[in-house]
Amino acid sequence: AKYISQCIDEIKQELKQDNIAVKANAVCKLTYLQMLGYDISWAAFNIIEVMSASKFTFKRVGYLAASQCFHEGTDVIMLTTNQIRKDLSSPNQYDTGVALTGLSCFVTPDLARDLANDIMTLMSHTKPYIRKKAVLIMYKVFLKYPESLRPAFPRLKEKLEDPDPGVQSAAVNVICELARRNPKNYLSLAPLFFKLMTSSTNNWVLIKIIKLFGALTPLEPRLGKKLIEPLTNLIHSTSAMSLLYECVNTVIAVLISLSSGMPNHSASIQLCVQKLRILIEDSDQNLKYLGLLAMSKILKTHPKSVQSHKDLILQCLDDKDESIRLRALDLLYGMVSKKNLMEIVKKLMIHVDKAEGTTYRDELLTKIIDICSQSNYQYITNFEWYISILVELTRLEGTRHGHLIAAQMLDVAIRVKAIRKFAVSQMAMLLDNAHLIASNTQRNGICEVLYAAAWICGEFSEHLEELNQTLEAMLKPKVTTLPGHIQAVYVQNMVKLYASILQQKEQAGEKEAAQEITQLMIDRLPQFVQSADLEVQERASCILQLIKYIQKLQTKEVPVAEEVIALFAGELNPVAPKAQKKVPVPEGLDLDAWINEPPSDSESEDEKPKTIFHDEEQRHSKHRPPEIDEEELARRREARKQEQANNPFYIKSSPSPQKRYQDTPGVEHIPVVQIDLSVPLKVPGMPMSDQYVKLEEERRHKQKLEKDKKKKKQKKEKKGKHRRHNSLHTESEEDIAPAHHVDIITEEMPENALPSDEDDKDPNDPYKALDVDLDKPLADSEKLPVQRHRNAENLKSPDTEAPLVEKKSKKPKKKEKKHKEREKEKKKEREKKKKKSSKHRKKKHKKEKEEKSKDKKKSKKKQHHSEEETAESVQNGTLDDEPLPPMSSYCLLAENSYIKMTYDIQGNLQHDSQVTVSVIFENKSTSFLKSMELNVLDSLNTKMLRPEGSSVHDGIPVPFQLPPGVSSEAQFVFTLQSIVMAQKLKGTLSFIVKNDEGSTHEKLDFKLHFSCASYLITTPCYSDAFARLLESGDLHMSSIKVDGISISFQHLLAKICFYHHFSVVERVDSCASMYSRSIQGHHVCLLVKKGENSVSVDGKCNDSTLLSNLLDEMKETLSKC
Amino acid sequence: MRFMLLFSRQGKLRLQKWYLATSDKEKKKMVRELMQVVLARKPKMCSFLEWRDLKVVYKRYASLYFCCAIEGQDNELITLELIHRYVELLDKYFGSVCELDIIFNFEKAYFILDEFLMGGEIQDTSKKSVLKAIEQADLLQEEDESPRSVLEEMGLA
């Protein structure tokens, strides 16, 4: 970021300069930075400046930058109008082209309005290159400025028959896109397109046309009929999958729109399905996916033809790709029937077991439940099977959909009476094994099913065989680790179980057993009383008190079971789904999916209240209140108070039980009221809930007084009978029933009915929102074509067209004037600047030099910096896996029988115009070599650094003597001015050979070759910095190619690194980018690519000469490989 | 087509082209989101996904992901074909293209794309004519350039 901000500062500097080339470079850099996500909107004006450059190179960059970063909000965009117009009418077709391309990206309504006419003239340009672009950009113009369609359309139509295929396809593209938004205005073009379709061989165009027809056919059924044949022909003949897919898609669309009047309708569907089968069977995942996608479209209208491919789709479930599996699942959802449901679900269950990844498994789980529960369990023939499937699903580990399963369990158990017994036994099993479920998935939610299990067991405890066992399972200490809301349900349902056990025992006369069970409750409940969850605590402490009281009664040998049972009297009735649906949904309820479900059997609901009513009615009619025992009465009152204390909690309990209970007491209330007052019609007048509570108290009180055991038994039997009876028939008994029924509705509904209406609306709301969403894009585009349509009609009378065009051309003129004025001002400013600049040119030169030196310093700093940071990338070049051949950078300088000289040249990092030449002197003779002196003939550019005071012709003494066979190294410093060219210096080494025979004076001439590579210093570079460098655009480009290279890429890179002092920045397969820097701060970037037998090297460098010389050297190195 | 993105396996954007003018902020958000989605997908998975209200077609060439967002009604296969065609073009132009080429010559990659697609529609289906147009434009550029560099050298000298 620091680097970037530095770069941006540099760019800002560059933008301030007058030189357009520098500016273009700066803009180019900005374009790259924009891609990296930096905001460059501040430079918009500079971009426009570059756009208006006269040279194509800069213009191109300018337009590129504009197309990347301009959008409708860019305020300077209006300044471009004139420039673009100028470019559009440029004699150079590429100027025009680049302007059109740029414009296509940032066209605004204003630009579209102002330039529409210019573009239209371009549509009949002589060059197809321009025509093509002009036609395409018209689409953008139409979108921004709909009014232009009217005048432009006939010309666009002409272009459909343009001799140049490119223009033609462009025209097809544009019209297809237009037609897709609003097909009905383009019906008249159908014959023309039909001709094109049958004649064209260009698949790209064909696809567009076919898509267009797909949009047209819903409006014109005759077209569909006509289309089927050529389309089926295409399906048969084409080898291009994309075309095939498009055809199939269109055929499907056509067939859907045709409803069913077609003769060969099923044949073509069959063909489509067959072809799709081929797609799905293909090994290409993409085709498979699309095949399934298209299949699901067919499924909606022709489920039968798809169903025969069930096997294939089931196969797709095994696919590796999750998205394909999900598509297949979608298809399956639509494919189930009563017959195959069990089979499909069985397969899915197998997949659930196999599936890896919880997301997919969860998806499978929800799909299974969706599939089974769709349209109200329509396809389920055996609910026992379904319950066991649900139970099996609970064994899944780590699923998030515990609540979903729970909801299904509750739903099925409540709505399907026949299954209750089975369900209860399964749930009891679940409760027994609760530790399995609760232990490993506590945080996730499969334990939600315990919620359902507990509730079902409690609610339908009459079906339970092993009451005690279940109760004990629920009282296990482990239960306290469950989430609070589940514990709450546990506590509540324990009491239900307890009540039924109590009743059982008392009926059987096993008082001790009953007391035992009471004791058990008292023993175990305290663990819940200590719960941290308020709800659990509250319920538990309440119930504990109640049970303690019961215990007291029990010790007095008072039969209590009836009263306890009475606590839950209402809940024994089935609650119809509708009743639940009508209950207002508490906020944040997670079960609303279930609640919103449409009710299956409305009768059952109607019956239920009646049954209660009948029960009560009969009870009351048969049993008149007995005399009241005062003592008994008092005691009962106590009990009642307990109940009442209990009741509020009951209602407040966790969401879903609440609904049920709220409902049931409500249902109970009314009959009682009616009976007590025996004036049903009064009831509507007193629906206050407080009153109900009072009435309820009275009723219960009375009931308790009235009832004694035996009678109640009878009632119970009758109750049961009635219930069954009623479920078979609708009302047949007493006349009052309907009246009460009505009452119930008018009384009970007001509270609930409203929310239920809201419930109905709820699911609609998203749809409504969706409708709007769908409409919006349409509406936008619809408006335009509607106008266009009218326009197109108007066009037939040419009179209307001309004035329009005129108007348009007038408007821009005004603007033009403004622009011209502005431009004039600008020009003046520029001229002034130019004058100034010519005056100060000399000064500037100096400044530039200063800047340069600054730059150098900067870059040095950078260099150091990067060296520290990029230790890794330094290694890139050297850290090679393969063993590399030994390489030496020392090469032969000269050799004779006495001495051999090898040398290496190293750039001097500290000094930008010095290199160090290391020469190794090796004594090959048996003589002693001494007084060696090295001298070179300096060139203008390259000079040997001699000690001060010595003349240019003096040699430099080698600071050592060489005994026989010994070698030693000496270093000489050379100064250079320019480093862009290789240099050769002639030189001589003079020395004295001293041996036994005496001493001789010898000379050895040599040529010191300063290659360009020797001016380079291996410098590591980060790939980011490298990329930024490249985009800076300061660099010259050149490239070479060398054939016949057999060594591995690895070696090749190593050679370049070694001999030419480069470092590898990044390597991808057989392609690598490399970097180096010269001692004078030139950046050299290479892109090395290896072909089969060749290597190409692209280079970029600040200096083109340096680069070409470097590349030549490299070529030489490489050609030796 | 709504937009085209090229990004590397490391999630670095290499090229972006938006055919509907979009604000920078929105662009950034979309790019980030889309990259996450696409990069998370395994190689064996199919090239299409539904994302927001668009369909995304992507394909991986070596270390580069080419990613196009198209509208609901557009043909996925043709888009795939289009991506391939663009890669072919790049390949022809650069000669066995690789990611570094596109970093190295990013402006060229843009020019080729602009020559091939315009406003999100295919401009020319023929590889030859696209390449010809690019080459000619390049020629024009070089003509422009060569006198300039000479002048510069003069100025420097």
| Of A582 and A998, the one with more pLDDT | A998
pLDDT at A406: 81
Alpha-carbon gap: A580 to the closest alpha carbon of chain B (Å): 36
Name the region of A1035 (left: φ>0; alpha: ψ -120 to 50; beta: rest).
beta
Average pLDDT over residues A495-510: 81
Nearest chain A residue to B6 by CA: give it.
A35
CB contact (8 A) between residue B149 and residue A173: no
Average pLDDT of chain A, as a whole number? 69
Structure tokens at A603: 């009768």
DSSP H stretches of helix in A901-1046: 1023-1031
Residues in chain A: 1121
Of B62, B118, B125, the CB nearest to A1069: B62
Distance CA A24, CA A34 (A): 15
Mind listing the pLDDT tens digit for each residue in B105-135?
A: 887 888 888 888 877 777 776 777 777 877 7
Residues in chain B: 157
A563 in Cβ contact with A506 (< 8 Å):
no
Query: What Å distances lie between residue A220 and A70, A187, A546, A818, CA to CA?
Result: 42, 8, 76, 51
Query: What Å distances lie between residue A1017 and A942, A973, A1037, A1082, B62, CA to CA?
Result: 18, 16, 20, 10, 32
pLDDT at A634: 58
pLDDT tier at A946 (50, 70, 90 boundaries)?
Answer: confident
Of A104, A106, A129, the CB nearest to B133: A129
pLDDT at A851: 47
A638 in Cβ contact with A549 (< 8 Å):
yes
Mind listing the pLDDT tens digit for each residue in A103-135?
A: 887 788 888 888 888 888 888 888 888 888 888
Average pLDDT over residues A798-822: 44
Average pLDDT over residues A804-830: 47
pLDDT at A993: 85
| Of A241 and A901, the one with more pLDDT | A901
pLDDT at A787: 35
Above 60 in pLDDT, residue A567?
yes
Q: Which of A522, A524, A470 is nearest to A493 (CA)?
A: A470
Give the B window 83-102 contacts with A, CB below 8 Å.
Answer: 95-96, 98-101
Least confident of A721-725, A1040-1044, B36-40: A721-725
pLDDT at A541: 87
Structure tokens at A258: 């045709």
Residue A91: alpha-carbon gap to chain centroid: 46
pLDDT at A570: 57
pLDDT at A848: 46
pLDDT at A1040: 85
* B chain contacts of residue A1073, beta-carbon cutoff 8 Å: 100, 103-104
pLDDT at A724: 38
pLDDT at A715: 43
Strand order in the sheet with A998-1010: A956-957, A928-936, A983-995, A998-1010
Above 60 in pLDDT, residue A497?
yes
Q: Which of A615, A521, A618, A633 is nearest to A570 (CA)?
A: A615
Average pLDDT over residues A958-980: 82
pLDDT at A633: 55
Name residue A682's amino acid.
K
A913 in Cβ contact with A977 (< 8 Å):
yes
Mind listing the pLDDT tens digit for each residue in A257-272?
A: 665 555 556 777 777 7
Across the strands, what pairs with A953? none
pLDDT at A809: 41
Of A57, A139, A286, the CB nearest to B141: A57
CB contact (8 A) between residue A137 and residue B121: no
Of B19, B45, B141, the CB nearest to A285: B45
* A chain contacts of residue B103, beta-carbon cutoff 8 Å: 1027, 1030, 1073
pLDDT at A755: 36
Q: Give the A:B interface size as CB pairs under 8 Å.
A: 186
pLDDT at A635: 61
Above 60 in pLDDT, residue A665?
no
Alpha-carbon gap: A285 to the closest alpha carbon of chain B (Å): 5
- Using the Cβ of B138 and the Cβ atoms of chain A, whether some distance falls under 8 Å is answered with no
Distance CA B58, CA A657 (A): 50
Q: What percent of chain A has pLDDT over 90?
A: 0
Residues 6+ apart with CB under 8 A from A262: A225, A228, A255, A268
Give the A window 836-865 contacts with B, CB below 8 Å.
Answer: none
pLDDT at A439: 55
* B chain contacts of residue A98, beta-carbon cutoff 8 Å: 114, 137
Above 60 in pLDDT, residue B60?
yes
Above 80 in pLDDT, residue A1006?
yes
DSSP H stretches of helix in A265-321: 265-281, 285-301, 303-307, 310-316
| Of A44 and A679, the one with more pLDDT | A44
pLDDT at A638: 57
Structure tokens at A843: 């000064």
Above 60 in pLDDT, residue A423?
yes
Mind listing the pLDDT tens digit for each residue in A67-99?
A: 877 777 777 777 788 888 888 887 777 888 888
SS3 label, residue A355? coil
| R_g over Cα of chain B | 18
pLDDT at A583: 55
Average pLDDT over residues A810-824: 47
Distance CA A984, CA A1010 (A): 6
Above 60 in pLDDT, residue B96?
yes
Name residue A401's amino acid.
H
- Using the Cβ of A137 and the Cβ atoms of chain B, whether some distance falls under 8 Å is answered with yes
Mind listing the pLDDT tens digit for each residue in A1045-1076?
A: 778 888 888 888 888 888 888 887 788 888 88
Of A64, A129, A1071, the CB nearest to B100: A1071
Mind listing the pLDDT tens digit for each residue in A356-369?
A: 666 777 778 888 88
CB contact (8 A) between residue B107 and residue A321: no
Average pLDDT over residues A11-40: 80
Least confident of A424-428, A784-788, A933-937: A784-788
- Using the Cβ of B114 and the Cβ atoms of chain A, whether some distance falls under 8 Å is answered with yes
pLDDT tier at A65 (50, 70, 90 boundaries)?
Answer: confident
Above 50 in pLDDT, residue A6?
yes
Average pLDDT over residues A872-890: 49
- Using the Cβ of B10 and the Cβ atoms of chain A, whether some distance falls under 8 Å is answered with no
Distance CA B92, CA A395 (A): 57
Structure tokens at A945: 């650094």
